[in-house]
């Protein structure tokens, strides 16, 4: 085992002044080798100081506390049902960290190559997988005692999101968006289409409602949006219905990663136009990095108590996490 530390200073600038401050922070990048093993993908545990990583096997790194240096984290190999795992394409924990799914190449019992996994935030044992070669999405029940076969949807799928305990939103490459309801009563999991939408032009970010076939809110952008994240809902106040809380201003903040490398923070319910849209750019990043494939709002409980929750961005070329801004309290 070995590790190296590379200091890096990231300066982030706001294109609009007056509603967000310049953020300067010193970051330290640490590399660690796991006994010479190749690592192609990594994934943080949603709660505990645990990282899983792998290429043709899964390695678990753990520590007693988040403040422990990465070089001192303990290492352990994880055994799966299959004795020999081929190249791993994806690793994902479920919402509470009680289950870990690994998508592999050449596991011929189900699929040849699982590229992406999406755990349900509503049912800890359900997840979907996307197939990079067969252009399909499969819906799984991870209970070991469950004999139900997975539900399979054949089409070129771009994005899959769970929207309720038994409903999925699926966007296809032709621009079609479907809401599907999952039925787990039958021996084989099945799905049925309950709503369809036609997506908007590439330079338009839209928010949809199941009550209408037209977008509820839309925002024109200067560059194509390649990644989007909805800020996690704050705690619902006592006595307030969940349907009301979902429409509250503080639960309606989105972050949009554009292909030109900029990041747009948008809240369509904000009446103050200066706060409705906040455009950010990352200074000092070369043009080759300016394509965001994925980013997220990091849940508050994942951080040591002295740190604030924030938006983070991995630069796709090196999948490096970068602090963007302190989002809580901004809107």
State residue 146's pLDDT score.
54
Q: Which two tokens stand for residue 78?
A: 């994880």
Separation between Cα atoms, residue 201 and residue 193, nearest integer Å: 23
Rg for the chain, CA atoms, rounded: 21
Instruction: Name the phi and psi angles at 209, rounded to 5.
Output: -125, 145
Instruction: Name the phi and psi angles at 130, rounded to 5.
Output: -110, 140
pLDDT band at 224 (very low <50, low <70, confident <90, very high): confident
- The CA distances from residue 316 to 10, 40, 84, 102, 327, in Å, are 16, 13, 29, 21, 22
State residue 273's pLDDT score.
75
8 A C-beta contact, residue 233 and residue 251: yes
State residue 168's pLDDT score.
85
Can you tell me which residue has the tokens 């989002």? 327
DSSP for residue 268: T
- Burial string for 146-180 (b: 16+ CB within 10 Å, else e) reads eebebbbbeeebeebebeeebbbbbbbeeeebbbb
State residue 299's pLDDT score.
42
- The CA distances from residue 256 to 202, 281, 311, in Å, are 13, 12, 11
Element (H, E) at 274: helix 273-276
Separation between Cα atoms, residue 118 and residue 187, nearest integer Å: 22
pLDDT band at 14 (very low <50, low <70, confident <90, very high): very low
Higher pLDDT, residue 315 or 88: 88
Higher pLDDT, residue 135 or 3: 135
Q: For residues 275-288, give the mean pLDDT.
A: 62
Instruction: Dump pLDDT digits (tens) for 115-124.
Output: 678 888 888 8
**327 pLDDT above the threshold of 60:** no
pTM above 0.95, yes or no: no
State residue 183's pLDDT score.
81
Instruction: Dump pLDDT digits (tens) for 149-167.
Output: 666 776 777 778 888 888 8
**234 pLDDT above the threshold of 60:** no
8 A C-beta contact, residue 266 and residue 253: yes
Q: For residues 196-223, give the mean pLDDT.
A: 77
8 A C-beta contact, residue 257 and residue 322: no
Q: Which two tokens stand for residue 213?
A: 């076939």
DSSP for residue 235: P
Instruction: Dump pLDDT digits (tens) for 30-58.
Output: 666 766 556 667 788 888 888 888 777 78
State residue 108's pLDDT score.
54
pLDDT band at 318 (very low <50, low <70, confident <90, very high): very low
């Amino acid at each position: 085992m070995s590790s190296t530390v590379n200091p890096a200073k990231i300066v982030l600038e706001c294109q609009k002044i007056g509603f967000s401050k310049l953020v300067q922070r010193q970051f330290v990048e640490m590399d660690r080798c796991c006994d010479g093993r190749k690592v192609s993908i990594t994934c943080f545990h949603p709660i505990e100081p645990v990282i899983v990583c792998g290429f043709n096997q899964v390695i678990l790194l753990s520590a007693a506390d988040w403040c422990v240096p990465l070089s001192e984290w303990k290492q352990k190999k994880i055994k799966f049902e299959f004795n020999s795992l081929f190249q791993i394409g994806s690793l994902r924990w479920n919402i509470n960290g009680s289950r870990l799914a690994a998508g592999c190449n050449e596991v011929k019992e189900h699929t040849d190559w699982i590229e992406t996994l999406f755990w349900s935030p509503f049912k800890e044992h359900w997840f979907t997988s996307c197939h990079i070669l067969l252009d399909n999405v499969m819906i799984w029940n991870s209970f070991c005692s469950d004999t139900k076969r997975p539900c399979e949807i054949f089409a070129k799928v771009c994005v899959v999101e769970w929207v309720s305990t038994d409903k999925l939103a699926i966007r296809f490459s032709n621009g079609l968006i479907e809401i599907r309801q999952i039925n787990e009563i039958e021996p084989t999991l099945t799905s049925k289409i309950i709503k369809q939408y036609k997506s908007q032009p590439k330079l338009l970010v839209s928010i949809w409602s199941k009550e209408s076939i037209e977008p509820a809110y839309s925002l024109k952008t200067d560059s194509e949006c390649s990644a989007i994240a909805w800020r996690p809902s704050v705690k619902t106040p006592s006595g307030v219905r969940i349907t009301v809380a979902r429409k509250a201003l503080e639960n309606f903040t989105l972050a949009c990663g554009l292909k030109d490398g900029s990041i747009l923070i948008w809240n369509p319910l904000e009446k103050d136009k200066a706060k409705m849209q906040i455009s950010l750019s990352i200074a000092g990043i070369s043009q080759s990095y300016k394509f965001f494939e994925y980013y997220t709002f990091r849940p508050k409980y994942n951080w040591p108590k002295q740190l604030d929750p924030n938006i983070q961005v991995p630069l796709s070329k090196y999948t490096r996490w970068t602090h963007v801004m302190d989002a809580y309290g901004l809107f």
